[in-house]
Chains A and B, each alone.
Chain A
Amino acid sequence: MDVTSNQTEKALIITADGRLDTTTAADFESKCMEIISSGDKNIVIDLKGIEYISSAGLRSILSVGKKVRSDGGNLVFCNLRGMVREVFEISGFSSIFTIHDTREQALEAL
């Protein structure tokens, strides 16, 4: 799983590519945990490159979300595509996390 980060003035942006499933979720989670350990309080996870997510992927996202919140940070998501958006909505993740259509909107809202 390809996970990259980009520090901007307003937030730390994490971008992931590929599938968030049972084989990749643990890798995604550990890479995110490492990136957010830098201490930035504003985190944007851009899911534009994620085409598939299962409950294993949701669990890794929830773990990252719990970590950011317990550190007093703010985690938002942007660029959810088709099936990923639907799975976020069904599982209630669209209401427990802040979701923006674009990265620009996510950064503006912070």
Chain B
Amino acid sequence: MRPSDPDPFFWIELPGTTNNLGKFQKFILDHAKGHQIQVDITGKVELVLEEVLLNIMNHAYSGGQQGTIKAGCVFSDEGKFIVRIIDQGSPFDPSSIPEPDTTLSVEERNIGGLGIFLVRKLSDHVLYKRVDGQNILDIGFKI
């Protein structure tokens, strides 16, 4: 996309607090369902939104730092449903998080690290950029 192109995304911007999670999910899912995306894809989109947004709300905007989150979506020419999440919190590249060892036993398994792992596994691509003090995360789903 060239800088001069009109922004093709549909956006919602709200304070990055956990009570807004459902509003973000509803906005994106309503848009997806309006284009008759299959139910198994919308379930994945819903889960990915929960994991990514909670991560920003609980970590990027922690320690008294306040800010908004922008979430947008678009159907790409390549046949994907793209979700873009933008926040002004501390830098966070999801691909920097090591994958949890899913072969460990119940006793050995650690409680953390599963959310970002699910985001990577349930989507078809995850692309992170840090631009002008903002985290920009694109997550694509084949439709």
Residues in B with CB closer than 8 Å to A91 are: 100, 102, 114, 117-118
Which A residues between 12 and 51 are near B, CB-CB below 8 angstroms? 21-22
Tell me the minimal C-beta distance from A94 to chain B in angstroms: 10
The one of A82, A83, A92 in contact with B47, judged by C-beta atoms closer than 8 angstroms, is A83
* Cβ-neighbour of A21 out of B50, B106, B114 (below 8 A): B50
**Does B121 touch A at the CB level, under 8 Å?**
yes
Tell me whether B7 is interfacial, beta carbon within 8 Å.
no
What residues of chain A lie closer than 8 Å to B114, measured between beta carbons?
55, 58-59, 91
How many positions in chain B have a CB within 8 Å of any CB in the partner chain? 25
The answer to whether A62 and B111 touch across the interface, beta carbons within 8 angstroms, is yes
- Which of chain B's residues has its CB closest to A53's CB? B47
Work out how many contacts link A and B, with CB atoms closer than 8 A: 65
B46 near A: Cβ within 8 Å? yes
Contacts of A66 in B (CB 8 A): 106-107
Specify which of A21, A69, A90, A97 is in contact with B118 (CB 8 Å cutoff). A90
B56 → A minimal CB distance (Å): 13
| Min distance, Cβ A83 to any Cβ of chain B, angstroms | 4
- In angstroms, Cα B115 to Cα A66, docked, is 19
Question: Which chain A residue has the least Cβ–Cβ distance from B117?
Answer: A91
Given A22-B21, A91-B114, check contact A55 B51 (CB 8 Å).
yes
Starting from the known contacts A63-B111, A69-B107, A87-B118, 16 additional A-B residue pairs (CB-CB under 8 Å) come to: A21-B50, A22-B18, A22-B50, A22-B54, A53-B47, A54-B50, A54-B51, A54-B115, A55-B115, A59-B114, A62-B111, A86-B122, A91-B102, A92-B102, A95-B103, A96-B105
Please give me the 10 A-B residue pairs with the lowest Cβ-Cβ distance, nearest first: A92-B102, A55-B115, A55-B114, A83-B43, A90-B121, A65-B106, A54-B50, A96-B106, A59-B111, A69-B106
A: residues with CB less than 8 A from B are 21-22, 52-56, 58-59, 62-63, 65-66, 69-70, 82-83, 86-87, 90-92, 95-97
